[in-house]
Structure formats: C-alpha cells, structure tokens
Amino acid sequence: MRISKRNLILGIIAIILIIIISILLIKQFSKDEKPDIKVDEKKQDTLIYNTNVEGIANINNIYIYGMHLNLSGEVNTTSDISSIELVLFNKSDKKRYNLEYEYIDNKVKFYLSNKINEGIYLDEILKGEYQVLLKITSSDEVIRYYSLNNNTAYSYMDYYTITRNGKNNYIEISTLSTQMVIRVTEKTLPKDVYDITIDPGHGGDDPGAVKNDIYESYINLEVALKLKKELENLGLKVKITRTGDYNPGNIAGISPYGKGGRVAIGYETKSKLFLSVHSNNLPLYPQNNGVEIYTSTNNNKQLASLIASNIVKETKINYSSKKQDKVMNGVYVRNFTTSEINTFKREAKENNYKFYETINTKTQYYYVIRETGGIITGAYVDGRNKDYSANLYYNSNIGLDGYLIEMGYITNSNDLKILLNKKNQYAIAIKNAVKEYLNITN
C-alpha cells in the first residue's frame, strides 16, 4: 500500500504531538504525586525548603505540654553519629534543636527531652512556615536529612502563645505522610482561650479542711481571686474555675471531669498553666507545717521551685517539714503507692469494672496534675468507674502544666495565722514566680 507524502507528514506531526503531550502529563503527574505537608478542612498545600532528604525517621510520640512541644522517635542508620538535631527550615532561616539519642535494638532512638515541660519552646518561634526535618551528622562530618513519618494518632495540633503586650501567635503543627510542618501566624486570642487557669480548691458541699469554723475553701478562693488580678496586671488572660462558694461541675455524675468541671475548664480554655490553690490539713500531726508545691514526676521543677521560694520570701512561712515525697525545698511529687493500687484493684472488682491498667507507682496521685495533662501525665479516667464521669480529654496529647499549691497547714497554728493574714502576699508571691518563669518584663 502506497502512503502519500501528505499523509506521511501528518503522521509524523501526530507522533510528535503524542510525545509532547506524554511528556507534559508525566511532569504534571510527578508534581501531583509529591506528598502534601498539611491537609485540613480548608486547604492543601506543599512546603519544601530543603530537598536534600535521604531517608525517613519515625515519630513514635508527640505532644504539647504547657508551652513546649516534645517528640521522640527512631531512625535506621549505619552512621557513626556525631550529633542529631531537629531542624526547622523556612525561606530565610533555620532553627536547630539538639536531640538526645541512644542505640537500642539496632536502631537510633532520639528525643527532644526526657522532661515533659521542655523541648521546643513554642512561644519563641517567629512567624512563618517551617519544614521540620531530622539532621544527622556522622563522625566523618557527613550530613544527612530525614523527613518525619508520624506513627502516632495525632496528626494535627494547635496552640496559642502566652499573651505578651496584648499580642499572641497561633501555631499549627501538622503531619501528613512523611511531611511535618509548623505554621506560625499572629492572631488575637478567641474569647474562650486563656493563658492560665487558676483553680481555688474545694467549695460548696466540699469545704476542704476545717478548723474552728475556718474553711479551707474560703481561704483558697480569696487568694485565688487576688492572684487572678495580679496575673491580669501582667497582661495575662486568666480563667478561674470558681468565683464563689460552689464546687465547679459538681452535678450528679459529672465530678471534676465533665463539662464545667475543674479539669474540663482547663482544657476547654486551652490554658498553658493550671494552678490549683489549696491549704494543707493533717490534724493528727499539728506540728507539720510549711509550704508544699506538688508537680509532675518528670518535669524540670523550675516553676514549682519558684513558687515555693517566692511564697517563703513574701509570707515568711517555712518550707514544709514533711520528708515524704520531697524532691527539693518546698517541692514534692506524690505518686500512687503499691498499697493504694491494690486497694483500687479491689474496688474495681467489687464495683464490676475493669481496673485501670495504666496505673502504676509512677502514676500521679493528685488528679489536678494527672488529669489535666492528658496522656503526658497518665490521665486515665475514661468513665468505666461510674462514680465519676469521664475525663473527655484523658487521651489528649495537649496537656496543661499543672501545679497543686499547698500554701500551708490549716491545722498548724502558726501556718494558720499566715494563711489568714497574708493572702495578698501569697498572691504576689505566686505572681512573681509566674512572671519570672514566663520571662515577662513589664
């Protein structure tokens, strides 16, 4: 069959067009196949500032506690490591955070900090968009970057910075596939978002310690209201769990954990610090005296120590004479004992619910510390024990940095005089501790 010259030319043109279209489609397909950094209900986009990625590291734990982002994970590498860093890249700069690491089971395990209130101080990150990568430098100075694969159930977190000079930043941390991005924008706090929650202990049908018709709940409330004003004078936005003689959320079946309860208020307001104000009670040992600040087992105790030392300075009360659970002057950690755990097991069996399998001798005893910190502090109240409503946030990976402030012993005559006569000084002392901890200069 003879092909005309015209048909031959048209055939060649058609082949060329097919090749050009194929090339364009391949390029477009390759572009579309790049994984997105973040997906939310509003948009999808891609952020790549460092393309020298040679592998993937796994994030096995990620959370925000107080004002810090912390994470840990693992990576396969045959390098003799000199250092490991977490690097935040943006268009003009990069921030580096040294990681701790160790070799376990032929893998390198890394983490930002073993203290839950350390890691990346979110308030210091400048506005912008950051690509987050793992950087490994070998002993022979070879540098390799790894993208981060989030193996946790938490792919998105948001956070409002502490109010400074009337301004706040809004931070979004998102992971999709093997991309991790941090976005920081300036944003005014919504009406329902606060910097700090103050919790005056007890109230209403729960007066707390009582001596000679003096109720602990009244003392706690008076100091807490004064403290609220002091902190607001620093420019902070402060929520208080009660303003009168009532027990927050104390409706049948609600307890502290349901909506309107002390714990829920802290989460709902997205507060960073939770300060629970109390007065101590030990009638069988009236010689016990002094201030005790209870905090989480594995935080750095900095704020706890500042609160204790400032209270001693302003009120002239003693550091507590109690030895049990003491970690430093005025600072205490109280976990469940083996005896208490065995009692809980018996109660669970008697009341026909499964014992909380996560409770052990490292579990925080005081619920205002444990249940306000979500998974970070071992919160466990999920509603199986029908005597308490569920903590709606027990499995949250965003937790408040919680402190139980025992200002002194209502059962000690000298402490009681100080508690009754130096409420202003207590408020000023706690305010000064928070001011120093947050590095507020005004």
Question: In this structure, are strands 53-65 and 143-150 parallel, antiparallel, or unpaired?
Answer: parallel
Q: What pLDDT, on the 0 to 100 scale, is given for residue 52?
A: 82
Q: CB of 98 within 8 A of CB of 118?
A: no
Regions of the chain short of the pLDDT cut 70: 1-50, 251-254
pLDDT value of position 21: 62
Q: What is the pLDDT of residue 65?
A: 98
Both tokens assigned to 129 = 């968009």
Residue 45 has a pLDDT of 47
User: Which pLDDT score is estimated for 351?
Assistant: 94
CATH class in words for 196-438? alpha beta
E strands in 46-138: 53-65, 68-75, 81-89, 94-98, 100-104, 107-111, 120-121, 128-138
Q: Which CATH class is domain 39-186?
A: mainly beta
* pLDDT score of 378: 97
How much is the mean pLDDT over the chain?
A: 90
**Residue-level pLDDT at 279:** 98
Tokens representing residue 316 in the block: 């002239």
Residue 426 to residue 438: CA distance in whole angstroms: 18
The conformational region for residue 133 under phi > 0 = left, psi -120 to 50 = alpha, else beta, is beta
Beta bridge partners of 210: 215
pTM above 0.85, yes or no: yes
pLDDT at position 31 is: 41
Fold identical between 39-186 and 196-438? no
Concatenated DSSP letters for 166-232? TB-EEEEEEEETTEEEEEEEE-PPPTT--SEEEEE--BTTB--SEETTEEHHHHHHHHHHHHHHHHH
User: How is the chain split into domains, by residue range?
Assistant: 39-186, 196-438
Contacting residues for 150 by C-beta, under 8 A, at least 6 apart: 59, 62, 175, 180
Place of tokens 């004002």: 67
Q: Say whether 284 sits in a helix, a strand or coil.
A: coil
| Separation of alpha carbons 219 and 407, rounded Å | 10
d(CA 300, CA 327): 11
